[in-house]
């Protein structure tokens, strides 16, 4: 189908927005249950989401690849414990190809607006190529897709090359240059050791020192890959062990005394790798371990000790055409400015443009603090599913397992519709409110709420609307079964599975 296809051809049973892991995985799940009438709209020219976009040097997953892959598509060929972005992207492309998802993809189509047409019992979705009509809308646009530029005066006046890590410009020469990187989060700590040997001077602008833990990344030897190919169950066992390890590692996020133990043990990484006491003090986090996302790196601290690296921990007050000025009045000349300033998952970009039964948008209802029943469905928005929705993020394990649990929930919903003969499903306001209170209660004792830091996990109301407050197993158990009492079913269906 082309971008100019007539309206009748633009009516589908399921429309998915976004072709990252969530969107591709949802399409595979739907095809497996016999729903082939589906289209995935992708604003870029190829699939892959965050792993297509993030191509800064040494970009890699900070969850072991054996766990950061679909359970139904194990990959015995991972080259490293923590695969790089290009390898993860290739994996996703391969899975999409093998599972015959590619014919469903429409590239270079940006969704601008979607609203529920109550009379037609359809979603009407406006994309850059025109309207689509769909019975079900699945939003899989990801939490880390829109780069945030820092709100520093003068940023636009900088005269040299300036780019965000998620929009890395490989054509900009860095060799021998004076480069500044703003931010010391997950992206920055991967970039810094990768470019430090090449640049002349590297200025690292740190606002808050982070907890950085050992990563133990290794090449996976050929014999082990061969073994996994021959005996897939062994890789399944390795995955299970990683899963259980991460579930155990989750406990300190909820229990303070375990955090104290963890901080004492894991704080040694900094002590071992940074000998200079003054630099060590400046790199020492001043909040509870785990409050902000834990960072994993074996080479970040060693890079910070190199003679061509300067830690700048004064606030940047002004960016000028030739560099930046810090609060102590120092001027720092810079040739290239790299923004490792992250994303804003608490303000999903499509939320103001998706309107439900009463014409109000998701953003209108959320008022700065996203909520959804089981992190997936929203009252007043029939047949809408949000993948990686509110409170489905993780601070300790692979988010792909959360996506798969959401797929199970959607499967259950399609079963419920098929069995009941209904056309639409949406959670009751009571079910969503109960669930949200339960989530908030669950967060009360977590480090994210009490750890003494400002993190992007918290929205502008101060509520944690991004993370799931328990272990992954609990989410899978809860959401895997659909409670019919929690859903309002309506209409008579044309389709049957």
Residues that bind ligand N01 (CB under 6 A): 60-62, 144, 150, 152, 165, 182-188, 205, 207-208, 293, 316, 340-343, 456
Considering the complex, what minimum distance in angstroms separates the CB of residue 144 from ligand N01?
A: 5
* Helical (H) or strand (E) element with 319: strand 316-320
Minimum gap (Å) between residue 326 Cβ and ligand N01 = 11
State the nearest-atom distance from the C-beta of 452 to ligand N01, in Å. Answer: 13
The closest of 337, 328, 270 to 304, measured between CA atoms, is 270
What is the C-alpha to C-alpha distance for residues 184 and 214, in angstroms, rounded to an integer? Answer: 16
Minimum distance of ligand N01 from residue 217's CB (angstroms) = 11
Nearer CB in complex with ligand N01: 125/319: 319
Which two three-digit tokens encode residue 44? 């870029």
DSSP reduced 3-state for 328: coil
Smaller CB distance to ligand N01: residue 188 or 417? Answer: 188
- Give least dist CB 88 to ligand N01, A: 9
Output the six-digit token pair for 448.
Answer: 């994210």
Q: What is the DSSP string of 127-182?
A: ETTEEEEEEEEEE---SS-SB-----TTGGG--S-EEEGGG--TTS--TT-EEEEE
**Planar angle of CA 112, 115, 120, nearest 5 degrees:** 135
Residue 99 or 206 having the CB closest to ligand N01: 206
Q: Which is nearer to ligand N01, 231 or 327 (CB)?
A: 327
Provide the minimum distance between the beta carbon of 184 and ligand N01 in the complex, in angstroms, as a whole number. 4
Specify the residue, 127 or 388, whose C-beta has the smaller distance to ligand N01: 388
Closer by beta carbon to ligand N01, 12 or else 203: 203
- Kindly report the number of other CB atoms within 10 A of residue 290's CB atom: 25
Q: How far apart are the first and last CA of the chain?
A: 24
Task: Say if residues 345 and 393 touch (Cβ distance below 8 Å).
Answer: yes
Between CA 409 and CA 412 the distance in angstroms is 5
DSSP string, 173-231: --TT-EEEEE--SHHHHHHHHHHTTTSSEEEEE-SS---EE-----BPPHHHHHHHHH-
Q: Which residue is nearest to ligand N01 (CB)?
A: 185
What is the smallest separation between the CB atom of 436 and ligand N01, expressed in angstroms?
23
97 vs 315, beta carbon nearer ligand N01: 315
């Amino acid at each position: 189908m082309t971008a100019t296809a007539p309206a009748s051809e633009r009516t589908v049973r399921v429309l998915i927005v976004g072709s990252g892991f969530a969107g591709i995985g949802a399409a595979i799940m739907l095809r497996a249950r016999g729903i082939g009438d589906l289209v995935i709209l992708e604003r870029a020219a190829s699939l892959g989401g965050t792993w297509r976009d993030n191509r800064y040097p040494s970009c890699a997953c900070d969850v072991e690849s054996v766990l950061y892959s679909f359970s139904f598509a194990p990959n015995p060929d991972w080259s490293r414990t923590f695969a790089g972005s290009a390898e993860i992207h290739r994996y996703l492309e391969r899975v999409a190809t093998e599972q015959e998802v590619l014919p469903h993809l429409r590239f270079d189509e940006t969704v601008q607006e979607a609203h529920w047409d109550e009379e037609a019992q359809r979603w009407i979705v406006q994309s850059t190529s025109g309207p689509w009509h769909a019975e079900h809308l699945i939003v899989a646009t990801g939490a880390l897709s829109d780069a945030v530029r820092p709100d520093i005066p003068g940023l636009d006046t900088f005269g040299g090359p300036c780019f965000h890590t998620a929009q890395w410009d490989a054509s900009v020469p860095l060799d021998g240059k004076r480069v500044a990187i703003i931010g010391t989060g997950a992206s920055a700590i991967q970039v810094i050791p990768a470019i430090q040997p090449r640049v002349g001077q590297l200025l690292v602008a740190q606002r808050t020192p982070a907890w950085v833990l050992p990563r133990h990344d290794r090449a996976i030897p050929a014999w082990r890959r061969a073994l996994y190919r021959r005996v897939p169950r062994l890789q399944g066992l390795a995955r299970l062990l990683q899963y259980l390890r991460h579930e155990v590692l989750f406990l300190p996020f909820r229990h303070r005394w375990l955090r104290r133990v963890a901080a004492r043990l894991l704080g040694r990484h900094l002590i071992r790798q940074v000998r200079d006491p003054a630099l060590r003090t400046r790199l020492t986090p001043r909040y509870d371990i785990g409050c902000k996302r834990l960072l994993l790196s074996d080479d970040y601290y060693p890079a910070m000790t190199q003679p061509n690296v300067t830690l700048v921990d004064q606030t940047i007050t002004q960016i000028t055409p030739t560099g930046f000025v810090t609060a102590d009045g120092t001027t720092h000349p810079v040739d290239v400015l790299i923004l490792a300033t992250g994303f804003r998952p608490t303000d999903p970009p499509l939320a103001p443009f998706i309107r439900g039964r009463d014409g109000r948008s998701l953003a209108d209802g959320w008022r700065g603090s996203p909520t959804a029943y089981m992190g997936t469905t929203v009252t007043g928005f029939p047949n809408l599913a949000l993948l990686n929705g509110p409170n489905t993020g993780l601070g300790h394990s692979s988010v792909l397992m959360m996506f798969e649990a959401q797929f199970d929930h959607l499967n259950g919903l399609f079963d419920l519709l098929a069995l009941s003969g209904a056309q639409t499903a949406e959670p009751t306001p009571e079910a969503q409110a109960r669930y949200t209170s339960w989530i908030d209660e669950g967060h009360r004792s977590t480090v994210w709420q009490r750890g003494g830091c400002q993190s992007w996990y918290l929205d502008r109301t101060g509520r944690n609307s991004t993370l799931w407050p328990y272990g992954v197993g609990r989410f899978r158990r809860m959401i895997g079964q659909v409670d019919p009492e929690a859903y309002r079913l309506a209409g008579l269906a044309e389709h049957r599975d």
